[in-house]
Chain A
Amino acid sequence: MSIAGGRQKRFLFVDDDAGFVTGMAELFRELSHGAWEVFTAENHARALALLREHSIDVAVLDIGMPVMDGLEFLRLLRRTHPGLQVVMLTGLATEQSRKASLDGGAVLFLDKPAAAAGYQAIFAALDALTDAAAQEGFRGIMRRVGLQDVLQMECLGRKSSVLEVFTGRVRGRIFIRDGEIVHAETGSVQGEVALYSLLALRWGEFNLLPFTPPPDRTINGQYEFLLMEAARLSDEQSGEPPPASPPPAAIEAPGVPEQTLSAEAGKVPAASPVQIEELVLCSGTGEVLDEWHCQALDQRVQFLEQLRQQTAQISGLLPVGRFDRLEIVLPRGRIVCDLQVNRRVFLRTSRSPSPGR
């Protein structure tokens, strides 16, 4: 009954009724036979402090609390702790509060039991919830992150996963096996066409799910090439007027050429003249994690650090916010440097001159 990896499951119960919450905590510790670590808080400040100090798996909130009720606290937690599972537990359940809780992101809405037997049912539900969370991949909110970033992280880490992407109208999945993009699908479209159309989406949500085998392998290229090609297609389209009647898949993917999105499954665009010449991947503190065809590794690493310092100075001088990336356009290629908290990337590509451009 422990979390995958062997540690105790950590629950936080937040209720202004000290007697109730202490009694419930003792009961659940006993029922778990040591598998649960239970924390209690009688107010929001204490709850937030505990969330900062401990990696809590599930927070269980009472709805009727003074100052800030449980629903308001739920909304706050969705912003401050997006990966936290929150369960609402109330003695005054109404349809309105149930709907508000679930709409607000609570994973369960439970009534406070009137009899002891009811607590065993609650214990079982909460215990099953953490098991499900440990098995079903990630759930969270990442702001200002591109799908390319997520894919790059998965591929660089040589992971296997399924990236599920959805917006109001478009839904799709990208399959990554051992760090290679092997399949993508959206609607009836598959392969690279589907991949490029999904990567051209400007907004949406994603879920990173455990790997399941795709129906077919429809993509074979190197992930670096595929991501660069997707970026190139988006760049090329960004300067062109939108099509008069975009196909359904293109409504939220203005960065991809119309013929790409409406192409038949498996038909890929013409080969790109873009080639990756050099790639360096460092940790957030500058240790080299991986490199490809880099002839001047020390120089690149020093440059990434210099870039960090320079951009930190500019951020300190102007209200421009956090630095994200540097792009240098060269006569026949470009350099992209991506600086994030946990990684630094130096990528140099070249491009053969193409007719008509």
Chain B
Amino acid sequence: MNPTPQGFCERCLTLPGVVACALRSPDGRVQQRVSKAWFSPAQIQQAMTRLAVAADSLRHQAPDPQRICWTFEHVQIHLAPRADGACLVVFLENRPDFSAEPLEAVFGDFMNLQGG
């Protein structure tokens, strides 16, 4: 298990259906990896900003969210927010044969790495 941001992203990309992954550190820096040519790094960067804002706005409706999943026609966006401001975002192809279940182990490790 590699606890670095890049390590989390690498690990996510080995899972079936994952097309991109990004990790925002508590200081706001974003690390990303894209496995298919669906998105460009610039798109992921912009999307991370929007998703972080969206996740923050959700806290008024749902304090202490553990996972957030936006399901779109082609892609599911899974976000695990940590209390220190970090978040791990995984872009999973939205197909019946791809499950989000395998992501849980990575999310679990990420959440346990509080402050890391």
A contacts, CB < 8 Å to B:
144, 202-203, 238-239, 299-300, 303, 306-307, 310-311, 313-315, 317-331, 335
A331, B83: Cα distance in complex, Å = 14
- Using A319-B74, A324-B71 as known contacts, say yes or no to A330 and B47 having CB atoms under 8 A apart: no
Q: A314-B51, A335-B61 are in contact. Are A321 and B43 (CB under 8 A)?
A: no
Q: Give B contacts to A, CB under 8 Å.
A: 38-39, 43, 46-47, 50-51, 53-54, 57-58, 60-62, 64-75, 77, 96, 99, 101
The smallest beta-carbon distance between B40 and chain A, in angstroms, is 10
Q: How far is the CA of A124 from the CA of B11 in the complex (A)?
A: 67
- Minimum Cβ distance to chain B for residue A36 (Å): 40
B75 contacts A318, CB within 8 Å?
yes
The contact sample of 28 A-B pairs, CB cut-off 8 A, is A144-B73, A203-B96, A238-B99, A239-B99, A239-B101, A299-B61, A303-B60, A306-B57, A310-B50, A310-B57, A311-B72, A314-B54, A317-B46, A317-B47, A318-B38, A318-B39, A321-B72, A321-B73, A321-B74, A324-B72, A324-B73, A327-B69, A328-B65, A328-B67, A329-B69, A330-B62, A331-B66, A335-B61
Please indicate the chain B residues that have their CB under 8 angstroms from the CB of A239 in the complex. 99, 101
Task: List residues of chain A with CB within 8 A of the CB of B69.
Answer: 326-329
12 extra A-B contacts, CB within 8 A, seeds A321-B74, A324-B73, A329-B65: A303-B60, A307-B54, A310-B53, A317-B46, A318-B47, A319-B39, A320-B72, A324-B72, A325-B70, A328-B58, A328-B69, A330-B64
Hey, which chain A residues are within 8 Å of B71, CB to CB?
323-327
In the bound complex, CA of A168 to CA of B70 (Å): 32
With a CB–CB cut-off of 8 A, which chain B residues contact A317?
A: 43, 46-47, 50
CB–CB A326/B68 < 8 A: yes
Query: Which of B39, B46, B65 is the one whose CB lies under 8 Å from A330?
Result: B65
Q: How far is the CA of A202 from the CA of B31 in the complex (A)?
A: 36
Across the interface, which residues of A come within 8 angstroms of B46, CB to CB?
317
Q: Are A202 and B96 in contact (CB under 8 A)?
A: yes
Contact A330 B66 (CB under 8 A): yes
Main secondary structure of the interface of B (DSSP, over half): mixed
Q: Which of B58, B61, B72 contacts A323 (CB 8 A)?
A: B72
Report if A319-B61 is in contact (Cβ < 8 Å); known contacts: A326-B70, A329-B66.
no
Q: Whole-angstrom distance between the alpha carbons of A320 and B77 in the complex?
A: 9
A-B pairs with the 10 shortest C-beta distances? A321-B73, A320-B72, A329-B67, A320-B75, A321-B74, A322-B73, A239-B101, A327-B69, A310-B54, A324-B71
Contact A328 B72 (CB under 8 A): no
Query: Inside 8 A of B54's CB, which chain A residues have their CB?
Result: 307, 310, 314
The CA-CA distance from A326 to B72 in the complex, in Å, is 9
Bound-complex Cα distance A96 to B53 (A):
60
Q: Give Cα A203 to B97, complex, Å.
A: 12
**Do residues A327 and B68 form an inter-chain contact, with CB atoms below 8 A?**
yes
Do B50 and A328 have beta carbons less than 8 Å apart?
Answer: no
Also in contact, A314 and B61, with CB within 8 A (given A321-B72, A326-B70, A327-B71): no
Complex contact A300–B61 (CB within 8 A): yes
The smallest C-beta distance from B27 to any residue of chain A, in angstroms, reads: 23
Chain A residues, CB < 8 A from B101: 238-239
Are A314 and B66 touching (Cβ within 8 A)?
no
Min CB distance A344 to B, Å, is 14
A323 vs chain B, min Cβ distance (A): 5
Cα–Cα, bound, A98→B61 (Å): 58
